[in-house]
């Protein structure tokens, strides 16, 4: 491998990260996995040539897909994560003592094993938590056959290519809805709207057909270039996204978590969409 990892996700926009050291570079059963070191981002993982996570900025992504819906809901007990092999989502969800169980369904065991070995700070021991339940399976099959119900379903997937493509379909979202308790929330990683507009438009239009409330919220994550990333939001309880700041603050103070990005104020602001994004989900 040369001295750079070149991300080829977008046809006309390639991003390169300098490799200081390669820690792992091989084909798993499902995808090509590279873990390397870069001075700015720390240790980083790419799958099939697409950046997935880095030690230095993973907290933004993982905090915004866990703490935000957990505090908005107010009484999450059971969480389902689809994807999430690096364990960062599991770690953040399990920071909440009131959460009784987190089931994580990851298609590729090698991602879990290699991230635990080379990127241990991301999961930070979360796989050993007795409340964690790791299932190695395709997330699409899991939700299609799932009889359990969850207060929160988090889709922590790769982009809609390769094994992740099925996690952006209407039938998958319909099955996710069936896995939710009444008033439960579905949140999704939905790409960077400036460069992946169609992905956001299509997911939110599917949500609108299935749920009473559907939108997206935003956070800027340096690894995912092109502006803020969009997270899909879908629930039948339209009040949850309006949860007042005072209530969010009360919930946060009652059950605080250590965070470096999430605050109740950031939470509220994340739903403020600039017109170039709101136009995509009209
Ligand atoms: N944060 C990253 C991003 O936004 O690009 C994504 C994180 S990475 C942990 C996504 C994970 O989804 C990978 O470990 C991949 O193996 C997993 N995955 C992809 N397709 C899947 C499927 N159909 N079922 C379950 N997991 C899947």
- Do 35 and 26 touch, CB atoms closer than 8 A? no
What's phi and psi for 31, nearest 5 deg? -160, 165
Tens digit of each residue's pLDDT (9 = 90 or more) over 194-241: 999 999 999 999 999 999 999 999 999 999 999 999 999 999 999 999
Residue 106 assigned ligand-binding role? yes
Active-site residue, from 148, 156, 175, 253: 156
Using the atom order of ligand 1, give the atom closest to the CA of residue 31.
Answer: 16
Q: 4-54: CATH homologous superfamily? A: Spermidine synthase, tetramerisation domain (2.30.140.10)
Report d(CA 267, CA 246) in Å as an integer.
12
- Ligand 1 neighbours, Cβ below 6 Å, are 52-53, 61, 82-86, 105-108, 111, 138-140, 156-158, 163-164, 166-167, 189
pLDDT for 2 equals 62
Report d(CA 2, CA 34) in Å as an integer.
12
Report d(CA 236, CA 258) in Å as an integer.
29
In this structure, the residue with its CA closest to atom 15 of ligand 1 is: 83
**Where does the chain have alpha helices with state H?**
58-73, 88-94, 109-118, 120-123, 139-144, 170-178, 197-210, 245-254, 264-270, 275-278
Q: Indicate yes or no: pTM above 0.95.
A: yes
Which helix (H) or strand (E) element contains residue 83?
A: strand 78-83
> What residue spans define the domains of the chain?
4-54, 58-281
Report d(CA 176, CA 81) in Å as an integer.
11
ipTM (interface predicted TM): 0.97
Using the atom order of ligand 1, give the atom closest to the CA of residue 58.
Answer: 1
Best residue among 164, 175, 219 to mutate for probing ligand 1's pocket (most ligand atoms within 8 Å of CB) is 164
Ligand 1 centre distance from Cα of residue 157 (Å): 4
Tens digit of each residue's pLDDT (9 = 90 or more) over 85-137: 999 999 999 999 999 999 999 999 999 999 999 999 999 999 999 999 999 99
Residue 2 or residue 268, greater confidence: 268
- Do 81 and 90 touch, CB atoms closer than 8 A? yes
Q: Is 52 left (phi over 0), alpha (psi -120 to 50) or beta?
A: alpha
Q: 58-281: CATH homologous superfamily? A: Vaccinia Virus protein VP39 (3.40.50.150)
Best residue among 158, 165, 222, 228 to mutate for probing ligand 1's pocket (most ligand atoms within 8 Å of CB) is 158
Q: Does 133 participate in catalysis according to the annotation?
A: no
HSE-CB of 51 using CA atoms within 13 angstroms: 30
Report d(CA 145, CA 246) in Å as an integer.
39
* Structure-token match 């897909």, residue found: 65
């Amino acid at each position: 491998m040369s001295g750079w990892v070149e991300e080829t996700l977008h046809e006309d926009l390639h991003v390169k990260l300098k490799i200081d050291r390669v820690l792992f570079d091989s084909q798993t059963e499902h995808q090509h996995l590279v873990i390397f070191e870069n001075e700015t981002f720390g240790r980083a993982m790419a799958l099939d040539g697409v950046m997935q996570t880095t030690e230095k900025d993973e907290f933004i992504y993982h905090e915004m897909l866990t703490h935000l819906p957990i505090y908005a809901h107010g009484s999450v007990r059971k969480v389902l994560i689809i994807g999430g092999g690096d364990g960062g989502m599991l770690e953040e969800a399990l920071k909440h003592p009131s959460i009784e169980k987190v089931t994580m369904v990851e298609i590729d065991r090698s991602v879990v094993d290699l991230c635990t070995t080379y990127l241990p700070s991301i999961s930070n021991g979360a796989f050993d938590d007795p409340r964690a339940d790791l299932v190695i399976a395709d997330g699409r099959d899991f939700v299609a056959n799932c009889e359990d119900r969850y207060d929160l379903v988090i889709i922590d997937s790769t982009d809609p290519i390769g094994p992740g493509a099925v996690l952006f379909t209407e039938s998958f979202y319909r099955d996710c809805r069936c896995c939710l308790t009444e008033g439960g929330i579905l949140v999704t990683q939905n790409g960077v709207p400036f460069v992946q507009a169609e992905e956001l438009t299509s997911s939110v239009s599917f949500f609108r057909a299935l749920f009473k409330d559907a939108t997206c919220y935003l956070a800027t994550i340096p690894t995912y270039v092109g502006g803020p990333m969009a997270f899909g939001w879908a629930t039948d309880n339209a009040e949850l996204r309006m949860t007042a700041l005072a209530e969010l603050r009360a919930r946060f103070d009652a059950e605080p978590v250590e965070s470096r990005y999430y605050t109740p104020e950031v939470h509220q602001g994340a739903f403020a969409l600039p017109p170039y994004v709101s136009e995509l989900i009209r």
